[in-house]
Structure 1
Amino acid sequence: MSLLQVRDAVAFPGGSNSSDTVIDNVHFNLTTLNFWNYTLYSNGTLSNGSWCLLTFPPYTPPLLLENGTFINATWCYSPVKGIQHRAAIAIGYAVVFGIALVLTLVSLNKHARLYLPAEKRFYPIGRRWQWYWAIWVCATALISLLTCIDVDRYFLPELPIILTSFFWYLMQIGAIAVVWEAVRHWGSWMERQFTDPDPFALRDGDRRSKVEFWLPLWFYLFLWLNFFMIVPRNWEPIQHQRYPQQVVDEAIPTATDARFKTAAFLLAVCWLTTVFSLRHSIEHYCPRNRGILNRISGFLRYTPARFMIILPLAAVVPVYQALVAWHFAWSPLNIDGLDAAIYPGAYTPALLIVLVQAYFGLLLPNEDKELLRQRRVRDQALDREMGIVHKPSWWRRINGEHIAANESMSDRLARNVREVQGNRQATTRNPDGIDIASGPVEMTPVSPPPPASPRISRTEVERYSGKSDRGRTELAAGLMFPQAGERAAAQRHEEIGLDDAAPPPYQPEGDAGTRPAPNVERSATSNSTDRPPQQIRSMLDV
């Protein structure tokens, strides 16, 4: 039975007396019904303008009170009907959109991970927007499709048709945004590959960079204009499809007004902007072609296969939105709309866009990993040009250059010591006889150093502080006492002659004590105290 039922007023059937009426074998007080302005309609409803009740079985109310209240009554706007074709198809589409949502989340998890430090020029959020919009499309589509079930089941249309239409328009916005973000990010990815070998390959502030800065602002300006043309409006007339005349008077003029038609034009501008962005990226980041035919051929050759699929699908979105703005019979806003036109034109393009995006998202590698692979390829090419041959990966394992799973920190330090010395047998025992490998390095006992070879000792030895204190003393004494300074200098030269020669060359440990060292005592270098004091004759001597 069609939802657009004939709603003509009919007379109350007769009852036991003049103040009684019988509806489905239930007696009602006719005086009370007339007092509260209830009218019986041919579609089996009873309404007074404020309340609408079902009177056909099994929803006939069993009792009417004097105050006009029905007991156990069923509201006219209730899901009392079975699922029709529109609802059944909507359930199938909702299942596919749910699968697309799961695949989109997997792709987001794969491509959103960072394996390289984030760059200011290429923000990580840029590669994620296409997946965020795909999630938006799946979520709004699920709400729109699931509310289609109540569009069929409601006896008289009400809120479900508004929710279905509202979220369908939001899904259309998201579908165009998915394609835009995919194309825009592809251009950014091409730029990143172009500048990774040479960061200064492209100039800043040129026409290319200015176009890439203003183009997203231009796109989202028209996308949000489409949003403001559709969303902030009075949606109540859309649900007024309870009888044919009401559809003609209220629903059709609202669903085909100038705002819906303008919104379709704005969405077409967004699609054209996406195509221009693709052409701009191919022109600057792909090999150039001269001539009109060569440019067209190059544009088709360098366009990724993914865009060859989703761009035509995205073109269907504004075209169908414009079609339903002029032809109400094929519109999702029509509760009796043609299903063969609604689902292929309204939901299929957005569904295919999300599925194609998810498929290529699972197929293509993470961009950071791909960039690392390209860097390795470039490094290998440079090594081949320079004649550098790196050791294979198994070289470290067979030469002990790997860390065992159960190796402690002390074992690592001991292994590093052995590697520095270059001889494992020699580093097992150091020259002092301490077995390094027998215990942890941190706990190895420290033995006193071996006795040094005897040298000529001095009676007064002071630690060297970085400058010659004795030299400063002799200089001051020379200035104060010229004669004493000359004697001190002569004595110092004598002491220099008494010093040892250069130390002997290195000998093995066993021969360390065979060469006796002379034991010569030297006198102090200070001036003698048994001499008469120096007489200062004038201030010139000082």
Structure 2
Amino acid sequence: MPLFDARDVLSFPGGNNASDTVIAGINFNLTTLQHWNYTLYSNGTLSNNSNCFLTFESYTPHLLPNGTFLNTTSCYSPLNGLGNRAKPGIALGVFFGLSLVFTMINLRKHGRLFLPSEKRFHAIGRRWQWYWMLWVAGCGMASGFTSVDVDRYYLPEWPLILNSIFWYLMIPSTLAIVWESVRHWGSWQERQLIDPDPFILSQNDKRGRREFYMPLVFYGFGFLHFFMAVPRNWTPISYQRSPSQSLQVAAPQATDGRFKAGAIFLFFAWLTILFSLAHSMHYYTPRPSLLRTLASTPPAFLLTLPLSLTIVAYQFLAAFSFAHSPLNLSASPAIIYSLGWAPIVLIFIIYEVAGYTYPNEDRELIRQRRLRGQELDREMGYNRKPPWWRRLNGNHNLTVQQALARNAQEVSGAPRAADWSAKDDVEMSPLPSKRNAEREVRIDNTPAGRALARHESRREAELDERVREAAMALFTPPVERKKTDIAYLMGDDMDGRGGRGGDGGGRGMSVEGVGVRGVWRRGRRLWGRSRRLLGVCWIFRVKVKKGGGGVGFGWDWFGGWILG
């Protein structure tokens, strides 16, 4: 099936009469075609800007007098075979699909925690690189598999648009992978440096401020590239149905100012990555010369930084030359895949291999701490037994008292007991102390000694009582604590009128459980309080003076019976 490069407007061929035309051996009503504004093009299509049908053999439709087409085939149908753009796209889609498995393995390996999380170093910091790789792999699968329909569609449409959108999403995300790897490498070097001494580096100095602003700068440039390249009207990119249409419509859209500005922002993001690497090496792995600094750079970065710069360079090439752009349907696949896809694939391979080779950071930190502990043991002359020594010679069935006795004998230099697994039915004597020694010397069987012992016993009892009183003052009992408890004070039973068994039942007027003598005492106490209250009221009684009409206090009568 030929694919016409030219898309010139053709005149309808003559038919049986003036209102008839013959297309691919089938008669069409010319009046109906002209009424619905259909145009015949040289690439074998019939279109009126709303509908587009194929007109060459095997796909020629039939036209009814009312303008209805039967047995039509859209111009945007996958009719062609796989071309030079589809086959590498399928391979790349499969590659990115397989990379998901290895990325998940590395994410689990490096994202697991074997030490308590620290506020200064978050666990998600070491996982961002693998999160971005998962995202890029998903975009790569979508872009790679849609390249199949880029070749198979008779006229370009949404497959070319989707292929281009996902490819442009991969570009800043790939630089984010490189950025996160470089940033986290610096964070890992800092963590190893401050692990022996947490105060060796300050967080408020110039170094800390740079590390705070560098991620903001990088992601700022990355999002600027995204907003310049992706959110746009992509429909003109698909207008490549003829060379003239590609040059007049698609080329200006693919090389406009927004794509050029996006390439510039992407280059600034790459410079931020380079600055971050230099910053980390300056503060965490300083070297006396530039050559030694380059030699101490991790091998992965020596490869991924030039590859990411290649991606940025191809962005400039695509933004200024439509002939080499992946948006061009007729661009060379060798240039597209070698400059636009191969660097991303190589970056993935490098980081997958590096992730498989490097150990988990927590495990590595545990190993470094163990080595530092062994070095300190050697400096102090302490020879730590290997782990198998305790399993073979250790006594694992000792009780707490037996373990304490063993430690005390080891410290005092006493000979070691032959069997530490004896039964724990012997009461241990208290360790010798100054107070016990004095008591053993001063206590005897004489009357004076026994009197002294009784005196010391009373003194110790008084001391214990004072300690108990102090403890009660500090830790009040529950009943007293309720007097200051907000929940208790706000309750309905606060005044002690609770029923039997309540918290305040003993403070009410109930005489249940109280003897006759107790009732008599309470009655006398209540009567005395009532008499005093009445006496005060009579002393300060108010009487109205009839003559003066004023109000005064009378002191002439005290109520002698009140004082009785």
Same fold per TM (> 0.5)?
yes
1:42-441 alignment, distance < 5 Å? 42-61=42-61, 63-289=62-288, 294=289, 296-399=290-393, 401=395, 427=422, 430=425
Contact 1:3 1:242 in 2 (8 A): no
Tell me by how many angstroms 1:428 deviates: 5.0
Tell me by how many angstroms 1:177 deviates: 0.9
Tell me by how many angstroms 1:143 deviates: 1.1
- Cα 1:226/1:91, change in 2 over 3 Å: same
Unaligned runs of 5+ in 1: 403-411, 433-462, 470-542
Deviations 1:398-456 (A, max 9, x none): 23656xxxxxxxxx7x8778777877698459479xxxxxxxxxxxxxxxxxxxxxxxx
Tell me by how many angstroms 1:3 deviates: 6.2
Deviations 1:443-473 (A, max 9, x none): xxxxxxxxxxxxxxxxxxxx9997479xxxx
Task: Provide the rounded CA distance (Å) in 2 between the counterparts of 1:200 and 1:2.
Answer: 75
Cα RMSD after superposing both structures: 2.6
**Partner in structure 2 of residue 10 of structure 1:** 10
Contact 1:137 1:350 in 2 (8 A): no
Task: Provide the rounded CA distance (Å) in 2 between the counterparts of 1:298 and 1:141.
Answer: 37
- Cα 1:324/1:429, change in 2 over 3 Å: closer
**Partner in structure 1 of residue 501 of structure 2:** none
**Partner in structure 2 of residue 497 of structure 1:** none
- Cα 1:317/1:426, change in 2 over 3 Å: closer
Task: Provide the rounded CA distance (Å) in 2 between the counterparts of 1:340 and 1:426.
Answer: 79
Task: Provide the rounded CA distance (Å) in 2 between the counterparts of 1:358 and 1:107.
Answer: 7
Tell me by how many angstroms 1:158 deviates: 0.9
- Cα 1:44/1:197, change in 2 over 3 Å: same
Contact 1:45 1:76 in 2 (8 A): yes
Tell me by how many angstroms 1:263 deviates: 0.8
Task: Provide the rounded CA distance (Å) in 1 between the counterparts of 2:424 and 2:233.
Answer: 92
Contact 1:2 1:336 in 2 (8 A): no
**Partner in structure 2 of residue 36 of structure 1:** 36
Between 1:330-339 and 1:10-19, the stretch displaced more is 10-19
Task: Provide the rounded CA distance (Å) in 2 between the counterparts of 1:46 and 1:302.
Answer: 66
Unaligned runs of 5+ in 2: 406-416, 428-456, 464-564
Contact 2:395 2:421 in 1 (8 A): no
For normalisation by structure 2, the TM-score amounts to 0.71
Contact 1:13 1:22 in 2 (8 A): yes
- Cα 1:285/1:426, change in 2 over 3 Å: closer
Deviations 1:244-289 (A, max 9, x none): 2211111011111111111111111111111111111111111342
Tell me by how many angstroms 1:82 deviates: 1.0
- Cα 1:303/1:156, change in 2 over 3 Å: same
- Cα 1:371/1:135, change in 2 over 3 Å: same
Contact 2:107 2:130 in 1 (8 A): yes
Question: Which structure exhibits the higher relative contact order, with contacts defined as CA atoms closer than 8 Å and separated by 6 or more residues?
Answer: 1
Tell me by how many angstroms 1:15 deviates: 3.9
For normalisation by structure 1, the TM-score amounts to 0.73
3-state secondary structure, aligned to 1:27: strand
How many correspondences in the alignment? 425
Task: Provide the rounded CA distance (Å) in 1 between the counterparts of 2:10 and 2:201.
Answer: 80
3-state secondary structure, aligned to 1:85: coil
Task: Provide the rounded CA distance (Å) in 1 between the counterparts of 2:331 and 2:187.
Answer: 42
Contact 2:146 2:162 in 1 (8 A): yes
Identity of aligned residues (%): 52
Task: Provide the rounded CA distance (Å) in 1 between the counterparts of 2:249 and 2:141.
Answer: 28
3-state secondary structure, aligned to 1:334: coil
3-state secondary structure, aligned to 2:127: helix
Task: Provide the rounded CA distance (Å) in 1 between the counterparts of 2:422 and 2:181.
Answer: 61
